[in-house]
Amino acid sequence: MEKALSELKELAEEHKKLIIRNRLLLKTVSDVLYDILNRVKDGQGQHLKTLVDRQSDLATVLRRADEIERKYDEWLASHTGALAAGEIDLDSLRDEIGGRLDQLRDAGGPEDVP
């Protein structure tokens, strides 16, 4: 059990590093685009083709980063029991609401809360 938990933590760290690396790549592409746009504004139009190429690279990197992050969230949720981003545990909410209603019934008497 302890070995499995250790391996799970190691895999989680590897996934985090991958996400961080892809975010850094995205930042690099963004910086290059910013530089190219400034050159185009300064009248250096020959960089326009590079801008189009970099825009395509940026779109690819964004899709990849989103896909990796989504897969990581799903993987983490499946291995830890946590919910993936945006998911709601309705059973847990039902239990919590039921527990609160029970507390209200106990505090005010059964006739006060249906």
Q: What is the CA radius of gyration of the chain?
A: 25
Q: Round to whole Å and give the CA distance between 73 and 83.
A: 8
Residue 85 has pLDDT above 60, yes or no: no
pTM: 0.39
Tell me what pLDDT residue 96 has.
81
Q: Average model confidence (pLDDT) for the chain?
A: 75
Contacts of 107 (CB under 8 A, 6+ apart): none
CB-based contacts of 92: which residues, under 8 Å, 6+ apart?
A: none
Instruction: Average the pLDDT over 97-103 and give the result.
Output: 80
Q: Is the pLDDT of residue 114 over 60?
A: no
User: 47-53 — which CB contacts under 8 Å span 24+ positions?
Assistant: none
Question: Tens digits of per-residue pLDDT, 3-42?
Answer: 767 777 787 888 888 888 888 888 888 888 888 778 777 7
